[in-house]
Structure 1
């Protein structure tokens, strides 16, 4: 028989594993402007639900340099895909007192409907 502390620890570990499942998302400019960093000027939208994670930009450290450059240039030729919601990314979502997204790969170009989620408020 497990002690209550061990059972609670096991439940906490299982919850953190479940919260770190892979998700797909786009990131968008939220219109917020700042005078000094850090500036939470991006929102991330989970796909397919469209759930908005306000003021949450993804951590791009797991992407290689070519992928990071692809996001900065964007696939439209008109600016960063991280502000325009034009690229679908995949990664892990860690939810706690604040949400944290860690991008692990670029999935594909976003559809028009996915990009349009950026403009809905």
Structure 2
């Protein structure tokens, strides 16, 4: 009986859904949503090159260094946050499965004009 229980538990564990993660590049931008208290899902992320929009999904920036945080806050032009304008391409891990989670690990490069415009498409 004990052996059957172990086999059942192992089978259930192997068949249970798991969060998958993959390295992706993306831009993140303002989605126009405004809130009066946190949490506020005011950003969308757009995966590159697929253009898949992750609505109301802002990346976790905890793995970025202090210099990278400052770069994101100033943006490419120094006139506003790159996180709201979609002007910087980030790389990180996409964890599928409720909830979808995006963890930024580095800044890749400035976004092209076409990549920034993906933020404005809905």
Q: TM-score, normalised by structure 1?
A: 0.88
Q: Any gaps of 5 or more consecutive residues in structure 1?
A: none
Distance 2:46 2:72 in 1: 16
Instruction: Give the structure with the larger helix fraction.
Output: 1
Question: Structure 2: which 5+ runs fail to align?
Answer: 1-6
Secondary structure in structure 2 of the residue aligned to 1:62: coil
Runs of 4+ in 1 over 2 A off after TM superposition: 3-13
1:78 is aligned to 79
What is the alpha-carbon distance in structure 1 between the residues aligned to residue 82 and residue 12 of structure 2?
A: 42
Distance in 2 (CA, whole Å) between partners of 1:50 and 1:117 is 7
Number of residue pairs aligned between Structure 1 and Structure 2: 117
Which structure would you say has the larger Rg?
2
**TM-score, length-scaled by structure 2:** 0.87
Cα root mean square deviation, aligned = 1.7
Correspondence for 2:13: 9
Provide the C-alpha distance between the structure 1 equivalents of 2:105 and 2:41, rounded to a whole number of angstroms.
Answer: 21
